[in-house]
Amino acid sequence: MEYADGAPSWRLVLRRALGVLRPRLRGQKQRGWSVGVPLIALTAGMLFTTSATTADGTALRDDRRPVLTQLIAEKRERLEVREEQASRVRAQVDQEAERLAEVDQPVKQARERADGMQAQAGFTALRGPGVTVVLDDSPRRVGDGGPNNPKNDDLVVHQGDVQSVVNALWAGGAEAMAIMDVRVISTSAVRCVGNTLLLHGQVFSPPFKITAIGEPTAMRRALQSAEGVQQFRDAVADFGLGYRETIERNVTVRAYDGSSDLRSARVAQ
C-alpha cells in the first residue's frame, strides 16, 4: 500500500476494511475476533496514512545534532564579533578617562585607586609557580561490555567536577586561576551544557584544563582532601575518566579582558 497521496490512501483503507466487515455469507453470524481484526487493521491503516501525510516525504525523526552544532557555531561567531566591538569601546573609554584625569583631580584619584585594585580583581596577568589539572571524558561507551556497567553520566565530566577542582585550588591558596586559558574572576560562573563547558559566553569541549598560580604543595593537598575531587578520582579508576595533575614551575595566567559590569552588588560589611 502506498501513502504518497493522503486522500486515495484513506479511501483504499476504508474500502478494504468495509469489505472485510461484510459477512461472506448472508445470514452467517461472525465471531468477535473476525470483527476485531478488521477494526485493528483499519486503525493501523489510519495511523500509517496520518504519519505519511504528516511526514510529506521527510523523515519524522531526523537527527537534530547537526542543526544544534550549527546554531552553537553561529552564536559563537556573533559573540566574538560583539566581544571585539566591546573591547574597542572599552579602549576608547579608558583613553577618554585618562585624558580627563590630566585636568580633573577627583578623576585622577579615582583612577589611581582603581589601578591599585587591578591585580586583585584579575585585570592584570600573573606569572609564577602553580598547578594545572586536566579533566577528560572516558573513552568507554555505554554497552561496551566493560566492568561496572557504566551509564552515560558515568563517562563524562560534569559541572560539579570542574567546580570541585576550582574550589579546592582556591582553598589551597591560589592567587590567580584560568579555565581553558580564560581568566577566572569573582563574577565567573562555571556551567556545563551537555558535555561542554560554558564560561563567559564561550563554549569549550573536553578535556578541560584548569591552571592556578600559587604554592603547588598546598594546592595539591587541598585537591587530595576535597571530597568532590576524590569522588571524581574514584570514577577515574571505575570508568576510565581522565584526571591529570601537573606542577608548573613558571606559568602565566592571562589578564581578564571581558566585561566587568555587575548586575547587582552589595556593600561589604
Query: What DSSP string describes 27-59?
Result: TPPPPHHHHHHHHHHHHHHHHHHHHHHHHTTS-
pLDDT at 3: 43
Higher pLDDT, 260 or 63: 260
- pTM here is 0.60
pLDDT-derived band at 136, boundaries 50, 70, 90: very high
Res 54: pLDDT = 59
DSSP 151-194: -GGGGS--HHHHHHHHHHHHHTT-SEEEETTEE--TT---EEET
Which CATH fold would you assign to the domain 124-253?
Alpha-Beta Plaits (3.30.70)
**How confident is the model over 3-50, as pLDDT tens digits?**
444 455 556 655 665 565 555 544 455 555 555 666 676 677 677 666
Average of pLDDT values for 240-246?
A: 95
pLDDT for residue 248: 95
Exposure string over 54-71, b if 16+ CB within 10 A, otherwise e: eeeeeeeeeeeeeeeeee
pLDDT in tens, 163-203: 999 999 999 999 999 999 999 988 888 888 777 888 887 88
Calpha distance 126→174 (Å, rounded):
12
**Per-residue pLDDT for 1 more than 50?**
no
Mean pLDDT of 220-227: 96
Of residues 264 and 132, more confidence is placed in 132
pLDDT at 252: 93
